[in-house]
Amino acid sequence: MARILITSALPYINGIKHLGNLVGSQLPADLFARYARARGHEVMFICATDEHGTPAELAAAKAGQNVAEYCAEMHEVQAGLAAGFRLSFDHFGRSSSPQNHRLTQHLAGKLAEAGLIEEVSEKQVYSNADGRFLPDRYIEGTCPNCGYERARGDQCEECTKQLDPTDLINPRSAISGSTDLEVRETKHLFLRQSLMRDRLDAWIDEKTDWPVLTTSIARKWLNDGDGLQDRGITRDLDWGIPVKRGTEDWPGMEGKVFYVWFDAPIEYISATAEWAEANGLGDAAWERWWRTDKGADDVRYIEFMGKDNVPFHTLSFPATLMGSGEPWKLVDYIKSFNYLNYDGGQFSTSQGRGVFMDQALDILPSDYWRWWLLSHAPENADSEFTWENFQTSVNKDLADVLGNFVSRVTKFCRSKFGEEVPSAGEYGPVETALIADLSRRIAEYARLMDAMEVRKSAAELRAIWAVGNEYLQGAAPWAVFKEDPDRAAAIIRLMLNLIRVYAVLSAPFIPDAAAGMLAALKTENADWPDDLGAALEVLEPGHGFEVPEVLFAKITDEQREAWQAQFAGQRG
């Protein structure tokens, strides 16, 4: 049994996330966490809301709320939607937690002691109308790279180029819209990442199994232009973690807070400490996951994220942990994803474009969405959500293949043998061949899941479902029953047991349907079928079952057209 630590990129607090956000980190992380638990590993799956920075303040102001109240309310909303999508976090924390305040300030102090933090005077945009500096998203303007007119002061959403507020053309305040701006000097702290370049370079060199997407982005930031740049870790904001060196004030930094991208990854550790406290456990409970001097040396740590988060997780966060001089656990594997686009354009939280998590659950259960998103995960390239593709995948994969198989087997058994596993009949060469074929496929499925090949795993799982259907169609127990009811009984006994196996294999992708299948079979046995022959005998003759409700209803053309029209505009 291995110990596996899994973190998902933190969803930002400013509103409900869309399906592109979901499939870019949290959902595939949940897939792997569920699979790892099913294989008997000890898993710690951590996530949290990312609550600091300008978007939180702007969203709160737009909602007419105090920012702390807004963040608390939205954390509850996001936690509820995560539960709705069956995301199996061990803890869903908050980056504004007392634990994260303490640890962020502690690490900043350690970095300062190591000479890795420098105080820098820099020029920033100041709004005379608002009476304040305008960091990051508090300023909008035209992107100097692509000409997009609504670029933010930290990044252009159109071309994804990283920006500084002073880079923008025709800048304006995102608070008041004022163009009465000037550039003033202010002091900030910078993490001296450039001093860590060789160490980071050697560390990334060791990660020969990382996805190409992850390493290519990391290398680009390490080597392009002047190489790895020092990065500001403080901001002139009211909401955030106050700048301190451990527990001591930091002279000259009064009224400033740590930059959200400094404190957010630290929340992975802090959220695990939150989990320990919530469960009445001491520090040793979370330290065994995060400190190599307290037992974390045997942990495999895996991060899931969208490609826009890769630079911070391959460079800035490791630089923070390495630079502290303390024995923190560093990530072993980073699974990164490209973007999911929406029906010919881009998903956009700020513009309300696409299907959002709450809207998705309003129209269909989570398994429908989980299956489509994971089976179309944007691993090697961007992928696109279209309603036609969604309808086809649900109807053909879930309804026609898996749902139809379960329905045919259970209904036929009830009609001919009653609601219990029949006892008569023996298996023959066809069944032996079937078990051998399925054993090979299940081994391949496990290999792909171990490798976190999400789309290929989904394709192999669907193929496993299809093999059962093909066997059932060829064996034709409904025809055999007339001449040889014992033979029909053997076929159905095997297929009822195969439904249980399908439930176990499918649970990481479609947990509700899997639970429904096990409940219909009146079993809680969800052991992984390492020995398929034995697994296909778990439900013994005489074991009762019920015909389940329809696992997956087909999506009609009328529904598809209505949803397509409903989500054609922007979110209200």
Can you tell me the mean pLDDT for 221-230? 82
The ranges of the chain annotated as CATH 1.10.730.10 are 352-572
Residue 54 in this model has a pLDDT that exceeds 90 = no
Residue 71 is assigned to a ligand binding site: no
For residue 16, what pLDDT band results from cuts at 50, 70 and 90?
A: very high
Can you tell me the mean pLDDT for 185-207? 95
The ranges of the chain annotated as CATH 3.40.50.620 are 3-111+260-337
Residue 349 in this model has a pLDDT that exceeds 70 = no
Can you tell me the mean pLDDT for 143-153? 91
Residue 157 in this model has a pLDDT that exceeds 80 = no
- What is the three-state SS of 230-268? CEECEECCCCCCECEECCEECCCCCCCEECHHHHHHHHH
Residue 47 is assigned to a ligand binding site: no
> Up-side HSE of residue 21: CA atoms within 13 Å toward CB?
25
Residue 571 in this model has a pLDDT that exceeds 60 = no
Contacting residues for 274 by C-beta, under 8 A, at least 6 apart: 48, 91, 93, 94, 97, 99
For residue 180, what pLDDT band results from cuts at 50, 70 and 90?
A: very high
d(CA 152, CA 164): 9
d(CA 550, CA 523): 19
Can you tell me the mean pLDDT for 489-495? 97
Residue 345 in this model has a pLDDT that exceeds 70 = yes
d(CA 290, CA 281): 15
Can you tell me the mean pLDDT for 168-186? 91
3-state DSSP call for residue 78? helix
Q: Which helix (H) or strand (E) holds 107?
A: helix 98-113
- How do residues 354-376 score in pLDDT, each as one tens digit? 899 999 999 999 999 999 999 99
For residue 159, what pLDDT band results from cuts at 50, 70 and 90?
A: confident
Residue 395 DSSP code: I
The per-residue pLDDT of the chain, averaged, comes to 94
Given this model, what pLDDT does residue 347 score?
A: 80
Can you tell me the mean pLDDT for 495-507? 98
| Cα angle 392, 397, 399; round to 5 | 90
Give the dihedral of Cα atoms 350, 353, 356, 359; nearest 10 deg.
130
For residue 225, what pLDDT band results from cuts at 50, 70 and 90?
A: low
């090949």: which residue's tokens? 453
Pick the CATH number of 352-572 from 1.10.730.10, 1.10.287.110, 3.20.20.60, 3.40.1390.20: 1.10.730.10
Can you tell me the mean pLDDT for 424-440? 94
pTM here is 0.93
d(CA 18, CA 78): 11
DSSP characters for 431-483? HHHHHHHHHHHHHHHHHHHHTT-HHHHHHHHHHHHHHHHHHHHHH-HHHHHHH
Can you tell me the mean pLDDT for 510-530? 97
For residue 124, what pLDDT band results from cuts at 50, 70 and 90?
A: confident
Given this model, what pLDDT does residue 424 score?
A: 84
Residue 143 is assigned to a ligand binding site: yes
* Greater model confidence, 223 or 72: 72
Given this model, what pLDDT does residue 248 score?
A: 96
Given this model, what pLDDT does residue 55 score?
A: 83
Q: Which helix (H) or strand (E) holds 358?
A: helix 357-363
CATH, domain range 3-111+260-337? 3.40.50.620
Residue 114 in this model has a pLDDT that exceeds 90 = yes
Q: Are 56 and 263 in contact (CB under 8 A)?
A: no
- Closest residue by Cα to residue 527 from 3, 20, 37: 37
Residue 516 in this model has a pLDDT that exceeds 70 = yes
